[in-house]
């Protein structure tokens, strides 16, 4: 493939350029808010090279993205949580769907504890018990034990959570449920769950507002959002027993371990709690969802333009991802994605790989 | 020609309301069919399914032949917490706002004209009504809540916590894995009480301005009559309020309708937790804030239908308040007092 692709790419580029000049291509996508800044960046970088392709991405949330692609009102959907069996069935079954990861993100446990001299270290079990109400003060012996030498105040713990359905909640609850059987039995996992206590906020900004304004609060937000807003977050213990902070490198490492199970056209892999000394444990892929036969897009040229864009993102988008604190896909995951994208057709005609 | 145009406009508005109710009811139908009236009395609101070990009455895990017996809790939708949240915030808001509003209305009708400031004060009251609710929310979030967290709450806790019988104000009970844990409520100003206070500020203008108009329509002869009978100024004011009571009740109901439907400001300060807690210092949720929080991402069919069911209940409730209020305000004032 490596030999054939450059030739194909240049041939296609010439061909695409010739046809696309005739008319402008307009495509729309909708879904997850987490990768939205990156997708917007990808679109604008891509448009620099292909000014005739206009792609509009609306960040309406993962749930909304799945609904939009199921209803065929968009060219592509995007979701932080992989499609469920039910959702795949609603789209026409496994054979009708292509789902592929684009980048990895991380969910961080952000906190507002005044007067700390060092960043906190937490485990999944302790986080779960904070959310279950069992650990109600920051000077609890179990938090002290993980943070020797840190002066922890006798301050009430206020857990903060997302009230809207979100991939962030999906990743965080799955991670906690794996660490705590009681959390799994009381709260469970999902894009939206019933929290036994604490304060709700809508979106990352809602949770961040609770955290920033409430002394003693702990909440889960996207890594990028925490970085952009300079909110302190904890190093979390990974499967190897090491405390790791979320960084582009530590999240990428989590993705590498998770990639082995990716097969077929509906790719998914749980990237939380992966082995590896330096892997950040609350990591996850974010996905783009397409129809395998792109009949939701009328013109063949539009379908080819969409695929050219995604090929470009997978091959050349990584550097923009790193710049923006997203973790790019590892080579093995990119291979799985390339295989899945190669399966896509329009009106029964295969769409060749490349730009 | 013009008459027909007017009739048509009237019809369109009536049809819009009817269509709104019909569409809501139709979209909520799956939830109405599944939960019926029990929707209103059930207090569990959980979108996800939970699989967990079954526990017996003693709180111990039940063991079967092949190990632990599992139970599956399907998603549950009960509106009681949000109905409670709406009722409680609206009532507290009324308790705070009604005395203030009636006082302000009396001031505007009986005192301000003499001082020649009725105009400016009326303008200020109406201006308050024109402030977008988001502005109130931001004020609640950045001023009221921190103030409560930093100054009011520690004081309240110091004074009230030692008082016997007030323990419930500051502690909440949570059931985890069959055991009940009691923990202190973090008093951080995002709770039922703050939500109610924001609502109180927001419904002040409407209750004040309607009350003012109602009081103005009290015949002058009534007031002069009471004064002629030797009533003091204060007694004549009370007589005036009694004379206008049905109109004033209407004003209060209009305030209640606004409080019940208010969304953004409340969502920002109420803490957004679908729970019923005895303490006003615990986070809560209203019907409107539930919709604001969850509707955008509600993709599951039953979840969406349940939210629309809540919306339908809210619409019918607000409509009922408004109809009764209009009747009371527009209807003839009571002649019971002489």
DSSP letter at B55 equals: B
Residue B12 has pLDDT above 90, yes or no: yes
A 10 A CB-CB count for A355 gives 21
Query: What's the pLDDT at B126?
Result: 84
pLDDT digit string, tens, across residues B93-151? 999 999 999 999 999 998 888 888 888 888 888 888 888 888 888 898 889 888 988 88
Taking a C-beta distance cutoff of 8 angstroms, is the pair A239, A271 a contact?
Answer: no
3-state helix, strand, coil in chain B (%, to 5): 65, 10, 25
pLDDT digit string, tens, across residues A18-27? 444 456 889 9
Length of chain B: 338
Query: What's the pLDDT at A189?
Result: 94
pLDDT digit string, tens, across residues B16-44? 989 999 999 999 999 999 998 999 999 99
Query: What's the pLDDT at B332?
Result: 52
Residue A2 has pLDDT above 50, yes or no: no
Residue B337 has pLDDT above 50, yes or no: no
Query: What's the pLDDT at A45?
Result: 94
Kindly state whether A190 is in contact with chain B, defined as any CB-CB distance less than 8 angstroms.
yes
* Rg of chain A, C-alpha, whole Å: 21
Among the partner residues A67, A157, A164, nearest to B293 by beta-carbon distance:
A164
A5 CB burial (10 A radius; 0-12, 13-18, 19+): middle
Residue A295 has pLDDT above 60, yes or no: yes
Residue A99, min C-alpha distance to chain B (Å): 19
Contact at CB, B51 and A193, closer than 8 angstroms: no
- Fold equal for A24-103+258-268+285-350 and A106-257: yes
Rounded mean pLDDT of chain A? Answer: 88
Closest CA to A124 of A243, A217, A293: A243
What band does B338 get if pLDDT is binned at 50, 70 and 90?
very low
Chain B residues touching A156 at Cβ < 8 A: 184, 186
Chain B residues touching A67 at Cβ < 8 A: 299
Residue B9, min C-alpha distance to chain A (Å): 34
Taking a C-beta distance cutoff of 8 angstroms, is the pair B97, B207 a contact?
Answer: yes
Query: What's the pLDDT at A355?
Result: 47
Tokens 């027909």 sit on residue: B4
Supply A235's token pair.
Answer: 């190093």
Contact at CB, A185 and B53, closer than 8 angstroms: yes
Look at strands B45-46 and A199-201 and give their pairing. unpaired
pLDDT digit string, tens, across residues A305-316? 999 999 999 999
Rounded mean pLDDT of chain B? Answer: 88
Tokens 């500020």 sit on residue: B201
Query: What's the pLDDT at A279?
Result: 92
| Residue B241: partners with Cβ closer than 8 Å, 6 or more residues away | B102, B106, B215, B248
The residue that leads in pLDDT, B176 or A13, is: B176
Contact at CB, B52 and A163, closer than 8 angstroms: no
In a 3-state reduction of DSSP, which class is residue B284? strand
Residue B335 has pLDDT above 50, yes or no: no
Q: CB under 8 Å, gap of 24 or more: what pairs does B273-277 form?
A: B273/A195, B273/A197, B273/A198, B273/A199, B273/A200, B274/A194, B274/B45, B274/B81, B274/B82, B275/A197, B275/B81, B276/B43, B276/B80, B276/B81, B276/B84, B276/B85, B277/B172, B277/B185, B277/B192
Contact at CB, A186 and B176, closer than 8 angstroms: yes
Q: CB under 8 Å, gap of 24 or more: what pairs does A91-94 form?
A: A91/A289, A91/A291, A92/A291, A94/A264, A94/A265, A94/A266
| Mean pLDDT for the stretch of residues B243-259 | 91
Which CATH number fits the domain A106-257, given the four candidates 3.40.190.10, 2.40.30.10, 3.90.1520.10, 1.20.1440.230? Answer: 3.40.190.10
What band does B203 get if pLDDT is binned at 50, 70 and 90?
very high
DSSP bridge partners of B184: B171
Contact at CB, B186 and A158, closer than 8 angstroms: yes
Tally C-beta pairs within 8 A across A and B.
Answer: 125
DSSP letter at B152 equals: I
Domain A24-103+258-268+285-350 is classified in which CATH homologous superfamily? Periplasmic binding protein-like II (3.40.190.10)
Supply A229's token pair.
Answer: 């807003």
Domain ranges of chain B: 83-150+188-330
Query: What's the pLDDT at A89?
Result: 94
Q: How far apart are CA B4 and CA B235, in angstroms?
A: 51
Query: What's the pLDDT at A118?
Result: 87
DSSP letter at A13 equals: H
CA dihedral (A72, A73, A74, A79) positive or negative: negative
Taking a C-beta distance cutoff of 8 angstroms, is the pair B313, B79 a contact?
Answer: yes
Q: How far apart are CA A217 and CA B297, in angstroms?
A: 25
Domain ranges of chain A: 24-103+258-268+285-350, 106-257
Query: What's the pLDDT at B305?
Result: 94
Chain B residues touching A197 at Cβ < 8 A: 172, 174, 183, 273, 275
Tokens 């809790």 sit on residue: B73
How far from chain centre, in Å, is Cα B4? 40
Chain A residues touching B285 at Cβ < 8 A: 200
pLDDT digit string, tens, across residues B46-77? 999 998 888 888 778 888 888 888 889 999 99
Closest residue in B to A86 (Cα–Cα): B300
Residue B331 has pLDDT above 70, yes or no: no
Is the pTM higher than 0.80? The answer reads yes
Closest residue in A to B277 (Cα–Cα): A197
| Mean pLDDT for the stretch of residues A156-162 | 94
A positions 60-89 inside 8 Å of B (CB): 60-64, 66-67
Q: How far apart are the first and last CA of chain B?
A: 48
Query: What's the pLDDT at A20?
Result: 45
pLDDT digit string, tens, across residues A202-231? 888 899 999 998 889 999 999 988 988 999
Residue B289 has pLDDT above 90, yes or no: yes
Residue B109, min C-alpha distance to chain A (Å): 43
Q: What top-level class would CATH report for the domain B83-150+188-330? A: mainly alpha
Among the partner residues B47, B49, B176, nearest to A196 by beta-carbon distance:
B176
- ∠ CA A169-A174-A178, nearest 5°, is 150
Query: What's the pLDDT at A354?
Result: 60
Taking a C-beta distance cutoff of 8 angstroms, is the pair A88, A97 a contact?
Answer: yes
- ∠ CA B198-B201-B207, nearest 5°, is 135
Contact at CB, B272 and A202, closer than 8 angstroms: yes
Kindly state whether A133 is in contact with chain B, defined as any CB-CB distance less than 8 angstroms.
yes
Q: How far apart are CA A55 and CA A280, in angstroms?
A: 33
Percentage with pLDDT > 70 across chain B:
98
Q: How far apart are CA A163 and CA B203, in angstroms?
A: 26
| Residue B71: partners with Cβ closer than 8 Å, 6 or more residues away | B51, B52, B53, B54
Query: What's the pLDDT at B336?
Result: 45
Q: How far apart are CA A353 and CA A346, in angstroms?
A: 13
pLDDT digit string, tens, across residues A232-267? 999 999 999 999 999 999 999 888 877 777 888 899
Q: How far apart are CA A289 and CA A337, in angstroms?
A: 12
Query: What's the pLDDT at A165?
Result: 86
């Amino acid at each position: 493939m490596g030999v054939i692709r450059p030739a194909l790419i240049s041939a296609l580029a010439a061909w695409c350029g010739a046809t696309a000049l005739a008319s402008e291509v307009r495509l729309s996508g909708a879904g997850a808010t987490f990768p939205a800044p990156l997708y917007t960046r990808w679109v604008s970088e891509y448009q620099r090279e292909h000014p005739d392709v206009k792609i509009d991405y609306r960040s309406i949330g993962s749930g909304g993205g799945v609904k939009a692609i199921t209803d065929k009102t968009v060219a592509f959907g995007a979701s932080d949580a992989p499609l469920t069996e039910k959702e795949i069935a609603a789209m026409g079954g496994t054979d009708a769907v292509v789902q592929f990861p684009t980048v990895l993100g991380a969910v961080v446990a952000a906190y507002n504890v005044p007067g700390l001299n060092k960043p906190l270290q937490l485990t999944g079990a302790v986080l779960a018990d904070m959310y279950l109400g069992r650990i109600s003060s920051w000077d609890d012996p179990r938090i002290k034990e993980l943070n020797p030498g840190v002066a922890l105040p006798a301050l009430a713990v206020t857990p903060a959570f997302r009230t809207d359905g979100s991939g962030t909640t999906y990743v965080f609850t799955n991670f906690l449920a794996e660490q705590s059987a009681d959390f799994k039995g009381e709260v469970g996992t999902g894009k939206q769950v019933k929290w036994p206590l604490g304060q709700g906020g809508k979106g990352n900004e809602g949770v961040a507002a609770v955290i920033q304004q409430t002394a003693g609060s702990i909440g889960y937000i996207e890594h990028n959002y925490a970085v952009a807003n300079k909110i302190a977050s904890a190093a979390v213990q990974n499967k190897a027993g090491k405390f790791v902070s979320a960084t582009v490198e530590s999240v990428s490492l989590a993705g590498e371990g998770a990639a082995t199970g990716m097969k077929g056209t509906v790719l998914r892999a749980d990237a939380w709690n992966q082995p590896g000394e330096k892997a950040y444990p609350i990591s996850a892929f974010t996905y783009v969802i397409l129809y395998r036969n792109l009949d939701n897009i009328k013109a063949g040229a539009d379908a080819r333009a969409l695929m050219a864009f995604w090929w470009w993102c997978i091959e050349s988008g990584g550097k923009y991802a790193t710049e923006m604190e997203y973790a790019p896909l590892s080579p093995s995951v990119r291979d799985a994605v390339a295989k899945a994208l190669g399966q896509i057709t329009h009106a029964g005609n295969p769409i060749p790989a490349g730009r | 020609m013009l008459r027909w145009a007017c009739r048509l406009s009237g019809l369109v508005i009536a049809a819009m309301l009817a269509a709104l109710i019909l569409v809501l009811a139709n979209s909520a139908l799956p939830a109405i069919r599944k939960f019926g009236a029990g929707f209103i009395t059930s207090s569990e609101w959980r979108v996800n399914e939970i699989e967990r070990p079954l526990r017996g009455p003693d709180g111990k895990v039940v063991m079967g032949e092949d190990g632990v017996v599992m139970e599956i809790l399907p998603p549950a939708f009960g509106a009681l917490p949000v109905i409670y949240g709406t009722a409680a915030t609206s009532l507290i808001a009324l308790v705070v706002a009604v005395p203030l509003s009636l006082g302000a209305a009396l001031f505007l009708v009986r005192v301000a004209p003499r001082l020649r400031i009725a105009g400016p004060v009326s303008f200020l009251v109406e201006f308050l009504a024109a402030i977008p609710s988001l502005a109130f929310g931001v004020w609640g979030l950045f001023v009221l809540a921190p103030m409560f967290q930093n100054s009011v709450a520690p004081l309240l806790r110091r004074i009230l916590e030692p008082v016997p019988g007030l323990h419930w104000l500051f502690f909440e009970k949570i059931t985890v894995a069959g055991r009940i844990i009691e923990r202190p409520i973090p008093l951080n100003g995002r709770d039922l009480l703050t939500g109610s206070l924001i609502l109180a500020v927001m419904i002040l203008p409407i209750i004040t301005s309607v009350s003012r108009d109602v009081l103005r329509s009290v015949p002058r002869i009534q007031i002069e009559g009471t004064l002629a009978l030797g009533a003091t100024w204060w007694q004549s004011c009370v007589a005036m309020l009694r004379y206008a009571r049905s109109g004033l009740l209407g004003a209060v109901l209009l305030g209640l309708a606004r409080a019940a439907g208010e969304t953004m400001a409340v969502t920002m300060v109420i803490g957004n937790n679908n729970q019923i807690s005895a303490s006003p210092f615990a986070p809560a949720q209203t019907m409107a804030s539930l919709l604001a929080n969850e509707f955008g991402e509600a993709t599951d069919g039953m979840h969406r239908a349940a939210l629309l069911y809540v919306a339908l209940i809210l619409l019918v409730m607000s409509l009922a308040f408004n109809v009764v209020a209009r009747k009371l305000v527009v209807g003839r004032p009571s002649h019971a007092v002489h």
